[in-house]
Structure 1
Amino acid sequence: MKFLEKNLVELDAAVTSPDEAIQTAGNLLVEEGLVEEQYVEAMVQSYHKNGPYFVLAPQIALPHARPEDGVKEASVSFLRLMHPVRFGSAVNDPVHLVFALGASSSDEHLEILQKLMALLNNPENVKKLMEMTAYSEMESLLGGIHS
């Protein structure tokens, strides 16, 4: 599993729409060969079809699609937006942090979500994600959650 590794993290991306945010976060996975390009398109289509169901917490979106849409390896990328974007979630907009998930099975999906929840359930960690200036800060955050 590739979980928030250096090449999968981008800080302060200048995106202006939910589609662009999903595509940019998804392209981090594509560039590392973890998902196929069609997977990113499937994430965008899922958003258009199902709405912002993956905006699961204030300021946090976890876009994903189905394994058969082109996942090669379980992975999570992280995109911090320079300017928050409204996804249409009445409760949790605007989104500042985007984690694109690629899982090739439901077991992997659960494992990824558990790791992410371990990170994001702590408000202090979310604050650090908002303020970090270098990947080394992400490494120390992740060091605190690995089992």
Structure 2
Amino acid sequence: MALNLAEELSSIATNVAVSDWRQAVRYAGDGLVAGGVTTEDYTDQMIAAVEEHGPYIVIAPGVALAHARPSESVKKGGLSWVSLASPVEFGHKSNDPVSLVIGLAALDHTAHIEVLRAVAGILSNPATRSDLDAAASPEEVRSLLARAASPK
């Protein structure tokens, strides 16, 4: 599974106002559901994972990769994308506050690792990250991600 943003533009949301990390993760889960990637149960599993294990999903400054273990709630692998209007705290010592929440659903552990690599590669490019942070629409995010993920 390469970087596979869910097919529906409804899996991408920009400038979303949330009150806390739970609501941010819920938006990411809603994008996975809208894209036909997961059921609503998966969203609850993502929130429960953070409640149980802490803010381990905050993988880089300002970025959370919301996910749960592969389960029956995952219909197919895919991603959702939620950029926040105002950053929120997840409780991570060095990477808070978070302004981008990426929802990840994978069918197995191998696919999960492959997507992590692809996301890290895209977000580690400062110019690409800046462009993605400034993207004002789902169409713009999709275009930037497609360009960043394509072989040079």
Aligned partner of 1:108 in structure 2 is 111
Aligned-pair identity (%): 34
> Structure 2: how far apart are the matches of 1:36 and 1:107?
21
Partner of 1:144: 148
Aligned pair count reads: 147
What stretches of structure 1 of length at least 5 have no aligned partner? none
Pick aligned residue for 2:124 from 111, 117, 121: 121
Gaps of 5+ in 2: none
2:30 equivalent to 1:30 = no
Equivalent position SS for 1:56: strand
If the length of structure 2 is used for normalisation, what is the TM-score? Answer: 0.90
Partner residue, 1:66: 69
Checking the alignment, whether the CA contact within 8 Å between 1:34 and 1:72 is kept in structure 2 is yes
How many angstroms apart in 2 are the aligned matches of 1:53 and 1:140? 27
**1:82 corresponding residue in structure 2:** 85
CA distance in 1, matches of 2:100, 2:6: 13
Q: Provide, for residues 74-117 of structure 1, a one-character-per-residue CA deviation record: whole Å limited to 9, x for no partner.
A: 00100000110000011000000000100011121112112211
C-alpha distance in structure 2 between counterparts of 1:49 and 1:57, whole Å: 20
Answering whether residue 30 of structure 2 is matched by residue 44 of structure 1, we say no
TM-score, normalized by length of structure 1? 0.92
Moved over 4 A (4+): none
